[in-house]
Amino acid sequence: MRLSWRKPAPLNWSAAREAQYTTAAPLLGGASITLLGIVITDRDKFRWPGPTLLALALTALFMVVAMVLGILSRQYLYSRSDVEAWWGPLSEMSDDQHEELIQDQRMHYSRYVRLERKADFCYLSGILCLAAGSSLTLAPPAHAAAPAWRWFAAGTTATLIVVLPLARTMPYIRNVMRNLQADHHDST
Amino acid sequence: MPPRQCPACDAAPSERADHYADCPLKDVPLAQVAGLTLEQAEAKAARWRA
Ligand SMILES: [Zn+2]
pLDDT at A187 over 80: no
Q: What is the ipTM of this complex?
A: 0.87
CA–centroid distance, B9 to ligand 1, in Å, is: 4
CA–centroid distance, B34 to ligand 1, in Å, is: 8
Q: Cβ of B2 and A117 within 8 Å? A: yes
Q: Residue B5 is part of which domain span?
A: 1-50
- Tell me whether residue A3 is in a domain: no
CA–centroid distance, A173 to ligand 1, in Å, is: 22
Q: Cβ of B2 and A8 within 8 Å? A: yes
- Tell me whether residue A4 is in a domain: no
B2 touches A: beta carbon within 8 Å: yes
Contact (Cβ atoms closer than 8 angstroms) between residue A129 and residue A51: no
Q: How many domains does chain B have?
A: 1
CA distance A115 to chain B (A): 10
Residue B25 CB contacts under 8 Å (≥ 6 apart), including other chains:
B6, B7, B8, B9, B19, B33, B41, B42, B45
B36 touches A: beta carbon within 8 Å: no
A166 touches B: beta carbon within 8 Å: no
Q: What is the pLDDT of residues A102-144, one digit of tens each?
A: 999 999 999 999 999 999 999 999 999 999 999 999 999 888 7
Largest CA distance in chain A: 78
Q: How many domains does chain A have?
A: 1
Q: What is the pLDDT of residues A140-185, one digit of tens each?
A: 988 878 789 999 999 999 999 999 989 888 877 887 887 787 777 6
Asked whether the CA dihedral A65, A67, A71, A74 is positive or negative, the reply is: positive
A168 touches B: beta carbon within 8 Å: yes
Mean pLDDT of A39-59: 93
- Tell me whether residue A2 is in a domain: no
Neighbours of A59 (CB within 10 A): 27
Q: Residue A110 is part of which domain span?
A: 13-187
CA distance A116 to chain B (A): 7
User: Which pTM does this prediction carry?
Assistant: 0.87
CA distance A49 to chain B (A): 33
